[in-house]
Chain A
Amino acid sequence: MADNTNLTTNQRNIMKFDPKDHEIALSTEDLHVFYGKTEGISEGDLQFERYKISALIGPSGSGKSTYLRSLNRMNDRIATVTGKIMYRGLDINSNDIDVYEMRRHIGMVFQRPNPFAKSIYENIAFALRQRGMNKKQELDEVVERSLRQAAMWDQVKDDLNKSALALSGGQQQRLCIARAIAIKPDILLLDEPASALDPVSTSQIEDTLLELKQNYTIIIVTHNMQQASRISDYTAFFNLGKVLEYAETGDIFTNPKVDLTNDYISGNFG
């Protein structure tokens, strides 16, 4: 547990960073999400530090996925999101933002692996080509680098032209991670990326994420408490659409301030 001195915690047990010591990659202010007239999220006020892994935990239906999907506006046609999402001094929740451009900075990996019905190579090269990267050599390089970063280059380097749908679930998910980092985002959002995978694939994905942390800010939703404690630096606990507690992961798991957090991480509900 590092220097708690420059972390302040307000009455609601939600940690705030001191910008002097912590570079904030993304933050939300007064975020509310409505599905029609039902409110899905209220008061999602969180800050995410650069080059760290922040985990969002909480029982099913607590709004952690909804919150995550709001961060790169994936909820745009599904729900109404009010409040601010600050990224590099810009409120990316405003109407003036070019959503497509913004998503190249804030990438996402989903719960179920969703590779395109294309070859392994095309899965990665496709989005790059859509944005004007046409040189074969350049594309080859990015494909190799991304697959290496996702720790699967050695397994697939001879099968790049094979369909991605022929890969195993764990490999598909790592391909999705490779695809997301190929466009060099700043921030990577992951929505329970390992929940559909076996333990071996899960631990490989976790190793990959710990590697990626050097270059990416990672925000991950997980229902797996061990996973959150193994890989994350900070953890936010969601319940009934609210963030009840946000602190360093070590603190959350050893010394939760809120009773509900304690109940949840000790497996008493959720």
Chain B
Amino acid sequence: MNAKRIDKIATGVLYAIAAFVVIILVALLGYILVQGVPEISWHFLTSPALSFEAGGGIGIQLFNSFYLLFLALLISLPISLGAGIYLNEYAPQNTLTGLIRTTIEILSSLPSVVVGLFGYLFFVVQFKLGFSILSGAFALTVFNLPILTRSIEEALANISNDQREAGYALGLSRWETVTKIVVPAALPSIITGIVLSAGRIFGEAAALIYTAGQSAPALNFHDWNPFNISSPLSPMRPAETLAVHIWKINSEGIMPDAKAVSAGASAVLIIAVLLFNFLARWLGKRLYKHLTAE
């Protein structure tokens, strides 16, 4: 066999493998969307879930998912940003920082159910936070920190050293150079990392089952005082999210339309995660364009 032929065969095989992967993905997405999209309506997206009758929605779960996502990012973003900046800009290359990096890597491969059980023992029981949004947000922070830190560190590492030297040569301090030159230049990839991690948080169930809880008490959407337990903003109320809701319906749902609700909720979840991914790409590209030309 000559080189040309081998190349042709190899190309064909690689195409087939790639096609196989794409087909699985498209089939999976297609199945969920075809099953679920017909169930989605304004009523479905806004009304509370019903436990025993048909016609329940996912309104509260959807709100909970976004609120938890917001809180988790609020806590994890500053920490990750600080850690990422320290590791890439300030940390000397020695055993200690090597150890920190290894720890972060191990943390990022921790199964989310383990994070959930840790969150249960630590936040729910030890710190007596109960099944609450706060416990859930902390658990999600533990889940999100290592990955976000890594992505921010990498975004900063991709900024050429020439940029830092340019800052130093103008008499700027390291802090000014990092905050005003390096971080802004890395912003497109940092934002992409944040939005992608948001997608992961949004779809997370296992870390939340034992922390944010599995119940979604009725909320009074006219009461925005975070100290009232029925307020949507109250951080101390249990809050079942969309992903947990799907898990719950499928394991113990007794409403007559459980299948339909589950299908609809799954479709909403998938669409949201897809939107996060597209948003990440779009934002990253836009910001990059904005910074590099026009």
Contact = CB atoms under 8 A, between A and B. Distances in A.
Interface of A: 72, 74, 100-104, 107-110, 112, 114-118, 126-127, 130-131, 162-163, 165-166, 176, 179-180, 183
B166 A114 contact: yes
B291 interface: yes
A104 B173 CA distance: 11
B165 A116 contact: no
Nearest to A104: B171
Interface string B148-184: 0000000000001011011111111100100011001
Contacts of A108: 165, 169
Contacts of B181: 116
B69 to A, nearest CB: 29
Which residue, B160, B167, B171, has most C-beta atoms of chain A within 10 A?
A: B171
A126 B180 contact: yes
Contacts of A109: 169
A116 B187 CA distance: 13
B183 to A, nearest CB: 11
Contacts of B170: 103-104, 107, 127, 179-180, 183
A166 B294 contact: yes
B162 A112 contact: yes
The 10 closest A-B CB pairs, nearest first, are A114-B162, A104-B171, A108-B169, A127-B170, A103-B171, A166-B293, A117-B185, A114-B166, A165-B292, A117-B291
Contact of A110 (B166, B172, B184, B290): B166
A183 B171 contact: yes
A183 B184 CA distance: 22
A100 B171 contact: yes
Given A103-B170, A110-B165, A117-B184, 14 more contacts: A100-B173, A101-B171, A103-B169, A110-B162, A110-B169, A116-B166, A116-B181, A126-B180, A127-B170, A130-B176, A165-B292, A166-B292, A166-B293, A180-B169
Contacts of A179: 166, 170
B169 A74 contact: yes
9 contacts: A101-B171, A102-B171, A110-B162, A114-B160, A116-B167, A117-B291, A127-B171, A130-B172, A183-B171
Contacts of A114: 160, 162-163, 165-166
SS class of chain A's interface: helix, strand, loop or mixed?
Answer: mixed
Contacts of B172: 100, 127, 130
Interface of B: 160, 162-163, 165-173, 176, 180-181, 184-185, 290-294
A130 B169 contact: no
A208 B25 CA distance: 59
Given A101-B171, A117-B185, A166-B292, A130 B180 contact: yes
A125 to B, nearest CB: 11
Nearest to B293: A166
Which residue, A74, A115, A117, A127, has most C-beta atoms of chain B within 10 A?
A: A117
Contacts of A163: 290-294
Contacts of B171: 100-104, 127, 131, 183
B51 to A, nearest CB: 54
Nearest to A72: B169
A141 B160 CA distance: 30
A162 B185 CA distance: 15
A107 B169 contact: yes
Contacts of A183: 170-171
Contacts of A165: 291-293
Which residue, B162, B166, B173, B292, has most C-beta atoms of chain A within 10 A?
A: B166
